[in-house]
Amino acid sequence: MGPHHGTRLGQTLPVRGFWKSPGWNAYHPRPTRAKNAPVQVPARRPRAAVPRAAIRAPGSAAALDRAAMSLWKRTIYKSVCLSLALLVAVTVFQRSLTPSQFLQEPLLPTLGLQKAQKPSGHLVNPDSFWKNRKDAVTLTPMVSRGPQAWDVTTTNCSANVNLTHQPWFQGLEPHFQQFLFYRHCRYFPMLLNHPEKCSGDVYLLVVVKSVITQHDRREAIRQTWGREQESAGRGRGAVHTLFLLGTASKQEERAHYQQLLAYEDRIYGDILQWDFLDSFFNLTLKEIHFLKWLDIYCPDVRFIFKGDDDVFVNPTNLLEFLADRRPQEDLFVGDVLQHARPIRRKDNKYYIPGALYSQASYPPYAGGGGFLMAGGLARRLHHACDTLELYPIDDVFLGMCLEVLGVRPTAHEGFKTFGISRNRNSRMNKEPCFFRSMLVVHKLLPTELLAMWGLVHGNLTCSRKLQVL
């Protein structure tokens, strides 16, 4: 309500009622008399008597009537004002006891929004709060949130030709030049999406990096360790599986493989695909695209296992390992490499020129064959990775992102991303009793995976079980 008109609250009102006002006589008609008859004074005459000279004066009766009428109008006006003042006082008193719908509106978010607008240099109009209708006010959470859906719909990426003028750039190999030309192109449109994989109570999300041409590997995983579960046991949520893909690297094969992939996805509904070429250097793109996707669609997933499509995973051991872990922990566990040095030999797959990375060693990182991380940490990793330039080795890049967060990955003996034995010819790499005790073993072909899965889950008798959990 606006400012009060008339009597203010707390002001002492005059004890002069309607029935004590001089205008009361106007309600009683005077008795008729002869023209020259003497005036008869009533028995109950008011104290403030009219002078006799005024009564005897010519026209005094009309003047008295006008005066009485004026007093009567003023009295009515004062009475109405008094009634309005009392009504306002009663209304304010009732609202102080029972807040109205308007006063129940929370003020804290509004104040928070005003504080958030301070750095812009624009003052907040205090009158806007009072002028807004309640049904038009939308309270926005104080925490900034990202997009609610994948927000990249077009591919508009051009080469950074400014690099051609740099002397160090001219000495790089062509594939590194290609990588640096387009390193600023971070996100691409989605071709296949399944946000429903994160709906409901999802305890573990199994995410597999794959290539569009490797359908046989995806099929072997679906039949073995990638099989989805309604419950992880012990009252925990579901286990869901997803495959991460780009597009075919060869232009002449792209349309054909895309049709096959669309058919595969209609059958299984477990493929996330983005519109960038599948290549070794683009594995880092696959990492950041998944982290962004997870941040958008999976706010409540507890844990994520991320691995390659040529590894053996023991889901029972994974779930047993996670039984005592909390999703709030900074859990990032795998086969961790400490003090690894960049490889400077040009004939090596992981060669990195000094112009691209000049430091002597990498931060600690987990081998990309397979690792476990908490859902909360994965969502924070998305924002940390956005602060760094892309790096052509995906697992090293994730180690750099962890370093931004101040999180060190944890090594675990059950993750063997370089094989159970570094010696590829060792019999240990073919022994099912070792596989039954591990969490992750790299690497196996699809036929080897199916055979090993059958041995581990068959009537296998082992002399002893390794304690790796």
- C-alpha R_g of the chain: 42
| 3-class secondary structure per residue, 170-215 | HCCCHHHHHHHHCCCCCCCCEEECCHHHHCCCEEEEEEEECCCCCH
Q: What is the DSSP string of 226-255?
A: T--BS--STT--EEEEEEEEEE-SSHHHHH
Number of H helices and E strands in the chain, helices first, is 14, 11
Partners of 243 in the beta sheet? 208, 271
Partners of 158 in the beta sheet? none
Which is nearest to 257 in space by CA: 193, 208, 309, 192? 192
Angle between helices 446-456 and 215-223 (to 10 degrees): 10
Handedness of CA 42, 43, 48, 52 (dihedral sign): positive
Statement: 189-456 belongs to CATH 3.90.550: yes
CA dihedral 185, 405, 349, 174 (to 10 degrees): 30
Report d(CA 59, CA 63) in Å as an integer. Answer: 7
- Chain centroid to CA 257: how far? 35
Domain ranges of the chain: 189-456
- Which tokens sit at 18? 């309607």
Report d(CA 241, CA 208) in Å as an integer. Answer: 8
Amino acid (one-letter) located at 383 = H
Q: Do 356 and 168 meet the contact criterion of CB atoms below 8 Å apart?
A: no
Per-residue pLDDT of the chain (469 residues; tens, 9 = 90+): 444 444 444 444 444 444 444 444 444 444 554 545 555 545 555 554 444 444 444 445 555 556 556 666 676 667 666 667 666 665 545 444 433 332 333 333 333 333 333 343 333 333 332 333 334 333 333 344 578 899 999 988 899 999 999 999 988 999 999 999 999 999 999 999 999 999 999 999 999 999 999 999 999 999 999 999 999 999 999 999 999 999 999 999 999 999 999 999 999 999 999 999 999 999 999 999 999 999 999 999 999 999 999 999 999 999 999 998 988 889 999 999 999 999 999 999 999 999 999 999 999 999 989 999 999 999 999 999 999 999 999 999 999 999 999 999 999 999 999 888 877 778 888 899 999 999 999 999 999 999 999 999 998 888 765 565 5
